[in-house]
Amino acid sequence: MMIMLNIIFWSVFLFVAIYDAKYKIIPDTVPIVLGITGFFLLGQPMNSLWGALAGGGILLLIALLNQNWVGGGDVKIMIGLGIAFGLSVMWILWIACFLALLSTLFMNKKSMAFAPFLFISSLGVQMSVVYIL
């Protein structure tokens, strides 16, 4: 069952990363699927709650400060990732922000889709947890 949930989680997340990179929009159903599958993968309701509040809350605050920086879909994805990763979502956010910053500097673009960076950093955090434990 856990393997199937992982396949669903990462397949949907990969889809949304590619979709966001191409169309600069995130379908509303994707964060829901990430949250539901992630909740069962983590299996710690309180950790999921704190992760959702921390990850989604920080991006929501940034979105409220300036709507050009972060979109609503990114906030919803961070809530889903918080449910899936718990408070490790903070590592995902920091790594994704660092990668996005480097990318914008080297590619000389003013705006980029954020979901691909969240996907890459989530993979990195997932792999580090798997290999450390």
Q: Looking at the 3D structure of the chain, how many domains does it have?
A: 1
pTM of the model as a whole: 0.92
- CA dist 115 and 25 (Å) reads 9
For residues 42 and 86, the answer to whether their CB atoms sit within 8 Å is yes
pLDDT digits (tens, 9 = 90+) for 52-62: 999 999 999 99
- CA dist 55 and 52 (Å) reads 5
Residue 68 pLDDT more than 60? yes
Residue 133 pLDDT more than 60? no
- CA dist 57 and 3 (Å) reads 30
pLDDT digits (tens, 9 = 90+) for 100-120: 999 988 988 778 899 999 999
Domain carrying residue 74: 2-132
Average pLDDT of the chain, as a whole number: 91
Helices (runs of H) and strands (runs of E) counted in the chain: 6, 0
pLDDT band at 129 (very low <50, low <70, confident <90, very high): low
Q: How far apart are the first and last CA of the chain?
A: 21
